[in-house]
Amino acid sequence: MPTRALVWFKRDLRSVDHAPLHAAALCDAAAGIFVIEPEWLASPEFDAQHLDFTLQSLAVLRSSLAALGLPLWVRVGSVVPVFEALLREFDFTHLLSHEETGSGWTYSRDIAVAEWSTARAVVWHESPQNGVVRRLKSRFGWARRWATRMNEPLIAAPSGFPGVGASAGRLLLPDLPTLSTLGVATHGRILQLGGEPAAQATLDSFLHERGRGYRRSLSSPLTATDRCSRLSPHLAFGTISMRQVHQATEATIAASDDHSLSYGLRGFGGRLRWHCHFMQKLEDEPAIEFQNFARACDGLRENEFNRERFEVWCAGATGYPMVDACMRSLKATGWLNFRMRAMLVSFASYHLWLHWRETGQFLARQFLDFEPGIHWSQMQMQSGTTGINTLRIYSPSKQAIDQDSSGEFVRRWVPEYGTAAYPRPIVDERTAMKAAKDRMYALRGTRAARSEADAEQAKHGARKSGLPPTAKTAKSTGKLESAQIELF
């Protein structure tokens, strides 16, 4: 029986190291599909910048696949009805895609697709595309499994699709939709370029030049913009694979006689493992997108949400110049370095005593590189609701001194600072920090919280996974689980 493959592109918008695409090239006929889902557009974490980056990447991908003889359709609608229509048009026998550790709506959608494919006798095969392990029974040895998977040979782009078939070739490929035709308002940000060539160029510039200052420059928003890898949106949308980044990084380190560059890249390479480690948490416990990791924290902040404080924080008008500068910079560019992200969450969670769920939805819309697994794990980690991490309460005053001692960053983004137009601090820093610490440590001292923390550490802790701490973190805290994802 002839095999006809439909490659379902999701957050894997590339042709290199793409297992479903490779498998499709072995079939008798093949075509690709990307679905712009109304469920995505209506989700609380969606922003127009995400769609803009996707459309840029799709334009590049469609062109490269067309040169190989593979049509890439882009349809708008819920996935199951779209597949039903394509089944009538193309009569595919196999649906090929990558596994996805995504937001709750994608989890529900994939359950529906599994039911539909079974009912229609379509074979749906999902391939892993990063270090996340589906249906993982134990975290023991997870880091070794990650290394094994990341060191497997890269999958080259197919040389062509000679057996595409007449029916697929006859189907029209209309122009890609736009933000306007989709009824999505423009975002007004200046974004990184999307697409596979842009991802490769970003990787190359980091490995051969920008990575030299990575470790010493990643904490300050003044230097991190250029010296961090800036690969996070490309990893989030899959215009480059984690395996490509890992192998290219290791190869550059091995070949380099530049100690400064190798030193920076070794720090970066180690953090790639942490990227997937946090995604694994969402894979294992999808509920952490919606509820406290440590259920002993239920009710800690939820019933005290202060809408006025939240709106001031969102606007970048808290009266704390470093907080406000970071928020305004993020809203204008879609990117912020990790330490400043952590400070924004810490300030919202501790100083303003805001629950992480609503602040997390707002930040998801601001981050071009929104990655659900990392995002929700970090929102809870920086809010103190995992139950197993050291409390990290950032002082915005200290961060301003440490990371912007000249005031350059603040002057750039908060030009009214120092004038009558700038608001007074919304809370007193010392008072707010003390109140937050008192409540958090009182909770953590309870028998229920300690018992739950032991169980969570046994299930998700980095010690079991075999992940080493970053040198700085291990020295300062002794906590393996406190290592931060600062590759962004």
Model confidence pLDDT, tens digit, residues 44-65: 999 999 999 999 999 999 999 9
Q: Tell whether 487 is covered by a domain.
A: no
Q: Of the residues 129, 155, 181, which one is the last residue of a structural domain?
A: 129
Q: Tell whether 272 is covered by a domain.
A: no
87, 79 Cβ separation under 8 angstroms: no
Q: Of the residues 129, 161, 193, which one is the last residue of a structural domain?
A: 129
Instruction: Tell the residue number behind the tokens 């953090």, with chain if given.
Output: 271
230, 206 Cβ separation under 8 angstroms: yes
More confident residue, 458 or 292: 292
Quick check: 470 pLDDT over 60?
Answer: no
Chain Cα centroid distance, residue 52: 16
H helix runs in 307-428, sequence order? 307-315, 321-333, 338-346, 356-366, 372-383, 396-403, 408-413
CATH classification at residue 17: 3.40.50.620
pLDDT for 458: 72
86, 33 Cβ separation under 8 angstroms: yes
Total residues belonging to the chain = 488
The continuous run of DSSP H or E covering 341 comes out as helix 338-346
Q: Tell whether 170 is covered by a domain.
A: no
- pLDDT bin (cut points 50, 70, 90) of residue 455 is confident
Q: Which DSSP category does 6 fall into?
A: E
Instruction: Report the alpha-carbon distance of residue 370 to residue 81 in Å, rounded.
Output: 27
483, 469 Cβ separation under 8 angstroms: yes
Four-residue CA torsion sign, 155, 159, 163, 166: positive
| Mutual angle of helices 259-284 and 447-460, in 10-degree steps | 120
Strand partners, 415: none
- pLDDT bin (cut points 50, 70, 90) of residue 462 is low
Q: Tell whether 391 is covered by a domain.
A: yes
Four-residue CA torsion sign, 297, 336, 367, 205: negative
Q: Tell whether 206 is covered by a domain.
A: no
Residue 427 φ/ψ region, left for φ over 0, alpha for ψ in the -120 to 50 degree band, beta for the rest: beta
- The residue range of the domain holding 359 is 287-452
pLDDT for 448: 87
Question: 71 CB contacts (<8 Å, ≥6 apart)?
Answer: 31, 32, 65, 164, 168, 169, 171, 173
Question: 306 CB contacts (<8 Å, ≥6 apart)?
Answer: 352, 353, 354
Instruction: Tell the residue number behind the tokens 């007004």, with chain if given.
Output: 188
The encoded tokens of residue 369 equal: 């590189």
Quick check: 259 pLDDT over 60?
Answer: yes
Mean pLDDT of 392-406: 97
Q: Tell whether 188 is covered by a domain.
A: no
Residue 368 φ/ψ region, left for φ over 0, alpha for ψ in the -120 to 50 degree band, beta for the rest: alpha
pLDDT for 172: 60
Strand partners, 5: 30, 94
pLDDT for 171: 54
Q: Quote the mean pLDDT of the chain.
A: 92
pLDDT for 165: 44
Chain Cα centroid distance, residue 89: 35
- pLDDT bin (cut points 50, 70, 90) of residue 464 is low
4-9/72-76 β-pairing: unpaired
Chain Cα centroid distance, residue 184: 22
- pLDDT bin (cut points 50, 70, 90) of residue 234 is very high
pLDDT for 155: 98
For 286-302, write each residue's pLDDT tens digit: 999 999 999 999 999 99
Looking at the structure of the chain, the number of domains it has is: 2
Q: Tell whether 207 is covered by a domain.
A: no
Nearest CA among 1, 488, 424 for reference residue 234: 488
Greatest Cα pair distance, the chain, in angstroms, is: 77
Instruction: Report the alpha-carbon distance of residue 30 to residue 157 in Å, rounded.
Output: 15
CATH classification at residue 370: 1.10.579.10
pLDDT for 459: 73
SS3 72: strand
Q: Of the residues 129, 153, 174, which one is the last residue of a structural domain?
A: 129
- pLDDT more than 70, % of the chain: 92
Q: Tell whether 154 is covered by a domain.
A: no
Strand partners, 7: 32, 96
Quick check: 31 pLDDT over 90?
Answer: yes
For 93-114, write each residue's pLDDT tens digit: 999 999 999 999 999 999 999 9
Chain Cα centroid distance, residue 178: 24
Nearest CA among 482, 425, 104, 449 for reference residue 300: 449
